[in-house]
Chains A and B, each alone.
Chain A
Amino acid sequence: MRYLPLTPNDRAAMLARIGSPDMDALFRAVPKAAIVGRDTFDLPDHQGELEVERALSRLSSQNISAGSAPFFCGAGAYRHHVPSAVDHLIQRSEFLTSYTPYQPEIAQGTLQYLFEFQTQVALLTGMEVANASLYDGSTATAEAVLMARRVTRRPKAILSGGLHPHYAETVETIAALSGTIVRAPCEPGRAEDIAALIDSDTACVVVQSPDVFGLIRDLKPIAEAAHAKGALLIAVVTEIVSLGLIEPPGAMGADIVAAEGQGIGNGLNFGGPYVGLFATREKFLRQMPGRLVGETVDAEDRRGFVLTLSTREQHIRREKATSNICTNSGLCCLAFTIHLALLGEEGFVRLARANHARAAALAERLSQIKGVSLVTSAFFNEFTLRLPKPAAGVVDALAERRILGGVPASRLLPREADARDLLILAATETNSDEDCRALAGALEEVLS
């Protein structure tokens, strides 16, 4: 077995040193009845690389991968071109196979990139401080709600109807035990009057922009309304590339930003692993969940980095911790930070512009199809169409033509009758003119 270095002779010599007659003696603390043999498991024996690769490649080939077809899915996960250097660098052994940087003297590589990552996230979101990442955007949103309750000591969280339904359900699951949650009605393509729901019990308002239908929201009036009643505004961003073109949430008055960072540096991966971005104002620092890296000096006065403010965390505070989170999304935030470093200001802005231009042209083209109308008037790289028939069937028919033509809103909102005919489409720099023509042609065909 190629991953196990001990030989039978080694094992015998080691048992002799231990003074144990056999392996069973080492397991003598385990009740005899609980020990099972190889035959208990209806599972195959070990295999070589070739066989494993063959088996898994076969499963892989049964899927239509995004790169093998015209592809227009978004709704919380976006396909962007990731430069080759990113994957090469994150596979360096010293990044891939190291642990959480608890021994800073021999983990400056991880600590410095996390410090750089925190800086990038703060700059992108327009906030003062950011942590070293959470699991993903949805769990970051739930953590933001818990944090807003700690800061305000109020129970109620109001979720915008434009918040990604999976995010809303995650918040409802994780934050239900420490307060109440109100979901504003879902009005595709419109900004609901969420300010009217804020009262003196409200800890926070959670608003996504661009929202799940792609609509760009002006957060300023919501922030003002929230602050007037002593509540916080949590801004959610699921497509981080949008911040190359749109005002950052921090500039519009957000108190906490919870975002999905997958779009930079990370592949689609069928939903995970992704990387949750989390940023806030400095005055709320002590209530922020997750790992933080800070700058300091070593015994010779050289600059260095350490995990800091860890007394907020579970391994010290146990049941009084700000969160039970024990990990971040290390390698995914490394991919994010490398890709963003490669882009730089200029590349990031150009990327965002390319996305918006592509989506604007596609929306223009598709909304000319008979019976199709554009629901979202203002958008970044994702928009929603109203079709003359249920979108789920249309998407399936497109898939039969080997086109991955967006996400039917009914998949996310099965109980909203109004969502039945809505199709959410994203276009990025990875879509060619040919892809767009193929989608338009096929959609016309399917709808005719």
Chain B
Amino acid sequence: MTMNVVGRPTAPGRAGQSAPATLSGDRGLDHEEPLLFELGRAGMTGVDIVDVPVGGGRLAGLERKTPLGLPGLSEPEIVRHYVRLSRMNYAIDSGLYPLGSCTMKHNPRLNEKMARLPGFGDLHPLQPQQTAQGALTLISELMRWLTTLTGMSAVAMSPKAGAHGELCGLLTIRAALAARGENRTRILVPSSAHGTNPATAALAGYTVDAVPAKDDGLVDADALQAMLAPDVAAIMLTNPNTCGLFEGRIAEIGRAVHAAGAYFYCDGANFNAIAGRVRPGDLGIDAMHINLHKTFSTPHGGGGPGAGPVVLSAALAPFAPLPLLVYSANNLRLIEDRDAVPTDAKPFGRMCAFHGQMGMFVRALSYMLSHGADGIRQASEDAVLAANYILASLKDVLSAPFEGPCMHEALFDDTFLHDTGVTTLDFAKAMIDEGYHPMTMYFPLVVHGAMLIEPTESESKESLDRFIAVMRGLAEEAKAGNHARFAEAPYLAPRRRLDETRAARKPILRWTPQVLSEAAK
């Protein structure tokens, strides 16, 4: 490995071709970018607003006396700052994003345009309801799609993300049990579950018991049934599960859960594998959140916002939280007050202010109308096909812990890296140099050194073939002992590996003038 003057090592195998150090520190399209606070100056602004005099008479003597310390920049400087930052990010729009359990599918731009229509984007949540009938119709139409696709009775629309939906589901279950006069205290969660499941159960006031997984990657249905008892409120199961497999005994599990007087919560994170082909309502599920940002293509946006509506069985429907959407006198009406609900409704409370993630509802319905029921089914099939294609094409060089077929995710472990000195993490970082975002790593926890690959339906066969070729090549490089390619990768990203220990031991969570002066030293 050679080091140039700036200190950036060149890629393995490319010694001798490295570019000379630059004078600016930038390299071609690859720009370094200071913080806003290091760029700005007092007195500058990127927004022209006429300054108006303000009398202090209405401010109760609480006018701010000291400056906030915000930097001032003009519009061209701001635009350049964020464009440069954006170029340091990987994105679905720039390449395959095989992040298992995250469903990084294409985000249609039509959805963005529709969400910005003034009748949706520029509508106040508390303006008179007769002036928002189109928006309420859109919500009601999305509810119809969600309940029809899942075969469920009702849907609570307000949860703002998957984990928020999980909480909504468990609070619905808690309310249903309370209405039966029962105080059940435990929730069963498989050890392979997403971390949000046990965290949510604890937040909802339950103790969590882990259900073991079997060697074939499925939940141990016999152990689960043996654990059912009068104090079990619910089970939380992900299906298809986090190992990328369909829980084939799910209907039997559902019957046993109901026989024990408990409810069946399903984590719907992986609905993209089965939408249009399997209805969760047919499997005995009582509640399931749907991540609109996974299955229904609303953008992930660097970590949000999401949306997590919860579909409910007939048994749970009466307990859905406020607000409720009802038809009355030829109008749609949001019921926001617990005393105004229909007689059969017993809402458990309110998950958030207002009515949910309208901006995401518009995008999701735009996706649904575009695909139609036929296209949603085709999308699920293509997602499953692509994952199985990857599994079949890589299992001879990587190592797959479970026999296929898989659903929409292909799971590998690190057995193939045994004795190579290369870890799952190293392998993933080497993928970055090859132009790919790594897959999900070290999850699910039940598999050693897990690599969970979810290609989604958005990739062409050519794209999948290229990815497969690169993955095979990397596996062969690792086995051939080409350690350098992996040990310190990535070499070619905007940053090399970052020192997370330092970040956590002495947290610096904001810019301060002191930090700047220290850096100057």
A183-207 vs B, Cβ < 8 Å mask (1 yes, 0 no): 0000000000000000000000000
CB distance A345 to B68 under 8 Å? yes
Residue of A116, A177, A303 near B37 (CB, 8 A) is A116
Chain B residues within 8 Å of A434, by CB: none
Say yes or no for B26: interface residue by CB 8 A criterion. no
* A 198-226 contacts with B by CB, 8 A: 216, 218
CB distance B384 to A107 under 8 Å? no
Say yes or no for B23: interface residue by CB 8 A criterion. no
Residue of B137, B388, B510, B511 near A26 (CB, 8 A) is B388
Looking at A149-157, A162-170, A440-448, the stretch in contact with chain B turns out to be: A162-170
**New A-B contacts (7) at CB < 8 Å, excluding given A33-B282, A314-B195:** A26-B405, A44-B373, A94-B88, A97-B300, A245-B63, A327-B162, A345-B69
CB distance A92 to B510 under 8 Å? no
B80-91 vs A, Cβ < 8 Å mask (1 yes, 0 no): 011101111111
Query: Please, could you name 30 A-B residue pairs with CB atoms under 8 Å apart, sorted by A?
Result: A3-B371, A3-B379, A34-B283, A35-B277, A47-B369, A55-B369, A58-B134, A59-B141, A63-B135, A64-B131, A94-B89, A103-B438, A108-B89, A120-B70, A137-B353, A138-B352, A170-B353, A173-B350, A272-B360, A300-B7, A301-B7, A305-B498, A319-B199, A327-B161, A327-B306, A334-B302, A344-B73, A354-B49, A360-B54, A429-B49
CB distance B350 to A166 under 8 Å? yes
Chain A residues within 8 Å of B88, by CB: 94, 106-109, 112
CB distance A49 to B122 under 8 Å? no
Chain B residues bordering chain A, tally (CB within 8 A): 209
Q: Which of A41, A76, A245 has the most B CB atoms < 10 Å from its CB?
A: A41
Tell me the complex Cα distance, A6–B515, Å: 52
Q: Which 10 A-B pairs have the closest CB atoms?
A: A271-B354, A60-B119, A62-B134, A173-B349, A271-B125, A344-B72, A331-B301, A93-B93, A273-B305, A46-B372
Say yes or no for B500: interface residue by CB 8 A criterion. yes
Closest Cβ neighbor of A127 among chain B residues: B510
Chain B residues within 8 Å of A17, by CB: 389, 392-393
CB distance A99 to B102 under 8 Å? yes
Assuming the contacts A103-B438, A123-B69, A344-B40, asked whether A25 and B510 have C-beta atoms less than 8 A apart, the reply is: no
Looking at B13-21, B202-210, B222-230, B312-320, the stretch in contact with chain A turns out to be: B202-210
Assuming the contacts A294-B508, A340-B70, asked whether A6 and B302 have C-beta atoms less than 8 A apart, the reply is: no
Tell me the complex Cα distance, A107–B88, Å: 6
CB distance A57 to B117 under 8 Å? yes
Assuming the contacts A59-B138, A68-B118, asked whether A96 and B375 have C-beta atoms less than 8 A apart, the reply is: no
Chain B residues within 8 Å of A275, by CB: 305
Residue of A27, A298, A350 near B277 (CB, 8 A) is A27
CB distance A354 to B50 under 8 Å? yes
CB distance A332 to B118 under 8 Å? no
**CB of A349 to closest CB in B, whole Å:** 8
Residue of A1, A133, A306, A414 near B500 (CB, 8 A) is A306
* B 393-439 contacts with A by CB, 8 A: 393, 404-405, 407, 428-429, 432, 437-438
Closest Cβ neighbor of B164 among chain A residues: A135
Closest Cβ neighbor of A76 among chain B residues: B353
Assuming the contacts A5-B458, A49-B110, A112-B33, asked whether A172 and B349 have C-beta atoms less than 8 A apart, the reply is: yes
Closest Cβ neighbor of B108 among chain A residues: A3
CB distance B277 to A36 under 8 Å? yes
* A 27-46 contacts with B by CB, 8 A: 27-31, 33-36, 38, 40-46
**CB of B38 to closest CB in A, whole Å:** 10
Assuming the contacts A62-B134, A173-B321, A314-B195, asked whether A35 and B278 have C-beta atoms less than 8 A apart, the reply is: yes
CB distance A323 to B199 under 8 Å? yes
Say yes or no for A145: interface residue by CB 8 A criterion. no
Chain A residues bordering chain B, tally (CB within 8 A): 206
Chain A residues within 8 Å of B359, by CB: 267, 269, 272-273
Residue of A108, A119, A123, A357 near B494 (CB, 8 A) is A108
CB distance A123 to B68 under 8 Å? yes
Assuming the contacts A89-B83, A97-B299, asked whether A107 and B195 have C-beta atoms less than 8 A apart, the reply is: no
Tell me the complex Cα distance, A302–B131, Å: 54
Chain B residues within 8 Å of A52, by CB: 110, 114, 366, 369-370
CB distance A331 to B499 under 8 Å? no
CB distance A73 to B127 under 8 Å? yes
Say yes or no for B476: interface residue by CB 8 A criterion. no
Chain A residues within 8 Å of B282, by CB: 33-34, 36
Chain B residues within 8 Å of A77, by CB: 124-126, 354
* A 263-285 contacts with B by CB, 8 A: 267-273, 275, 285
**CB of B425 to closest CB in A, whole Å:** 10
CB distance A332 to B388 under 8 Å? no
B103-144 vs A, Cβ < 8 Å mask (1 yes, 0 no): 010111010111111111111111110111111011001000
Residue of A5, A88, A272 near B160 (CB, 8 A) is A272
Assuming the contacts A4-B379, A247-B64, A357-B54, asked whether A321 and B460 have C-beta atoms less than 8 A apart, the reply is: no
Closest Cβ neighbor of A178 among chain B residues: B205
Tell me the complex Cα distance, A112–B302, Å: 12
Chain B residues within 8 Å of A4, by CB: 375, 378-379, 382, 457-458
CB distance B112 to A91 under 8 Å? yes
Tell me the complex Cα distance, A324–B171, Å: 14
Residue of A14, A85, A298 near B498 (CB, 8 A) is A298
Assuming the contacts A344-B72, A347-B49, asked whether A107 and B133 have C-beta atoms less than 8 A apart, the reply is: no
CB distance B199 to A318 under 8 Å? yes
B443-468 vs A, Cβ < 8 Å mask (1 yes, 0 no): 10000000000000111110100000
* B 252-306 contacts with A by CB, 8 A: 274, 276-279, 282-283, 299-306
CB distance B58 to A377 under 8 Å? yes
CB distance B322 to A94 under 8 Å? no
A44-88 vs B, Cβ < 8 Å mask (1 yes, 0 no): 111101011101111111111111100101011101000101011
Closest Cβ neighbor of A89 among chain B residues: B82
CB distance B119 to A65 under 8 Å? yes
Tell me the complex Cα distance, A146–B203, Å: 10
Chain A residues within 8 Å of B11, by CB: none
Tell me the complex Cα distance, A332–B59, Å: 29
Tell me the complex Cα distance, A46–B108, Å: 14
CB distance B145 to A309 under 8 Å? no
Say yes or no for A230: interface residue by CB 8 A criterion. no
**CB of B468 to closest CB in A, whole Å:** 10
Tell me the complex Cα distance, A146–B510, Å: 24
Chain A residues within 8 Å of B507, by CB: 285, 292, 294, 308-309
CB distance B55 to A360 under 8 Å? yes
Tell me the complex Cα distance, A91–B145, Å: 27
Residue of B71, B161, B495 near A341 (CB, 8 A) is B71
Say yes or no for A407: interface residue by CB 8 A criterion. yes
Say yes or no for A417: interface residue by CB 8 A criterion. no
Say yes or no for A422: interface residue by CB 8 A criterion. no
Say yes or no for B67: interface residue by CB 8 A criterion. yes
